Every structure is written in structure tokens, then in C-alpha cells.
Chains A and B, each alone.
Chain A
Amino acid sequence: MALKLVLIGLVTGLFSAVFGVGGGIVLVPLLIIVVGLEGKPATGTSLAAIGITALAGTILYGGEGYVEVGHAALVGLPAAVGAVAGTAVQQRVSARALALAFSVLLVAIAVWLLV
């Protein structure tokens, strides 16, 4: 299991740094399918791992001068408030409806980026 975790960590870290995301998108399904965690522990454990991954990426990119601290605070601080609300909402709202709404939003952003 330890080797599996290390391999998953390596893949997640690579993915995170290339795309500037936390890597939870690959990590949560892997924690469920490969590691065998249930849904909620998978999301909670993913968040803890992402903290270390994102810190590493921030330091590496920061060393090359790509990190804009003011912009990060502008979106990151409201997001911290949102994250607290999101974990509470996780107990109540239909995951299905939110997933569908989120996917529609992502398609719209992808179209904007591609054209």
C-alpha cells in the first residue's frame, strides 16, 4: 500500500504543477478506486495531501518569479470561506445536481480558452 501511495503522490504532484491545480481531480478517484477509501474520507484526505503538494508547487514557481501574491489573496481568501461552507453543504445538497452544474461551467470555460 505504501508503494501505491507514493506512486499516486508522484502522479498527483506532476499533474498539480503542470496545470496549477491541487490535483484532487485525479487524487479523489484514485483514493476511492485504488486505496479503497469511502467518499468523504477520500475528499478529506485529498485536501490534506493537496496542502503539501500546492505548497511545494508555490515554492518552486515562486523561486522562478511566477507567483503573484496579491492576486492569490484576492481569489484564495474568499475561497477559504467558500471551502468551509462547501464542506457543510456536502451534508445537504444533491451531489448529482452540483456535479452537473459544475461540468456545464467547465465546458463554458474550456470553450472560452480554446477560441
Chain B
Amino acid sequence: MSASTVVVAVLLGLAAGLLAGFFGVGGGILFVPTLLALGLSQLEAEATSLLAILPTVVAGTWRQHHYGNVRWRTGIVLGVASIAGAVVGVQIATALSEDLLRRLFAVLLLGVAAQLAWRSRHAAPYPSKQ
């Protein structure tokens, strides 16, 4: 891995974190393509993205808790229920071909882009004013 590659990866990580803090997402949507560019396979990139999400959401949650924006009971119920979904999701992802998984991910990006563009035209996107 060259020095310039490392710099680009760090910058993209920083950008992913900014978006995570801003939109309340984990940043995985930018981690996965960044990790692919670093040479990981689609499955490795997705799995590694999930680990990279952890420091991001711990920092983001800490700040949001400080601002009084975390409903802990709701978050914990959602998180615990999501474990069962994740068990099934890993089975599905490992059963699919990496090429199909990569294409599905690209479609996901287009869907998210469309959603964001629509929201930016019709109403304030998720966060902002209460």
C-alpha cells in the first residue's frame, strides 16, 4: 500500500465519519467502496466495513448523547432485534456471488443517491431542525 493510497483512505474515512455524524448512518456506504479500492474483495470489504463502523458510531453516539438525541431504550431494542437479521444477512451475502453482491451494492448507492436528492428538493433531509 503506497503512502498516497493511505492518505486517500484516511481522507475518505474522515469524509465517511462526517456523513455518519451528520446523517445518523454508520458510514459503511463510503467504507465499502474505499476498501474495494484498497484491493479487498466485496465480502471482505463489507465485513471490514462493519468493523470500521464501530469506532464511528461509538464516537457519533457519544456526541449525540451529549446533545440529548439518543433514545436508549428504542436503540437497544432495535439493535438487539437486528442481530437475528444480521445472522440471516451474512448467510445470504456469503451465498451470493461476489460479482452479484457488488452490483447490488451499486444499485443500493443509486437508490440512496436518489433518496437524498429527492429529500434535498422536497424537504430538509433527515437531521437539521427539530
- Residues of A contacting B23 with CB < 8 Å? 24, 28, 43, 99, 102
**A56 adjacent to B83 (CB under 8 Å):** yes
B35 nearest in chain A by CB position: A71
CB distance from B121 to the nearest CB of A (A): 8
**Interface-central residue, B12, B64, B74, by most chain A CB under 10 Å:** B74
B98 to chain A, nearest CB (A): 11
Chain B residues near A11: list those with CB within 8 A: 85
Whether B16 contacts A75 by the Cβ 8 Å rule is yes
Give chain B's interface secondary structure class: helix
| Interface size, A (range) | 35 or more
Given contacts A28-B24, A82-B13, contact A75 B31 (CB under 8 A): yes
Give the chain A neighbours of B43 by CB distance below 8 A.
61, 66
Give the size of the chain B interface in residues (CB under 8 angstroms): 104
B21 surroundings in chain A (CB, below 8 A): 82-90
B130 A16 Cβ-Cβ under 8 A:
no
Interface residues of B in 12-51 (CB under 8 A from A): 12-36, 38, 40, 43-51
Looking at B56, B112, B116, the one whose CB has the most chain A CB atoms below 10 A away is B56
A60-B86, A100-B120, A109-B109 in contact; A79/B20 too (CB < 8 A)? yes
Most chain B CB within 10 A, of A23, A89, A99, is at A99
Q: Which 6 A-B pairs have the closest CB atoms?
A: A22-B26, A86-B21, A82-B17, A20-B46, A43-B24, A13-B85
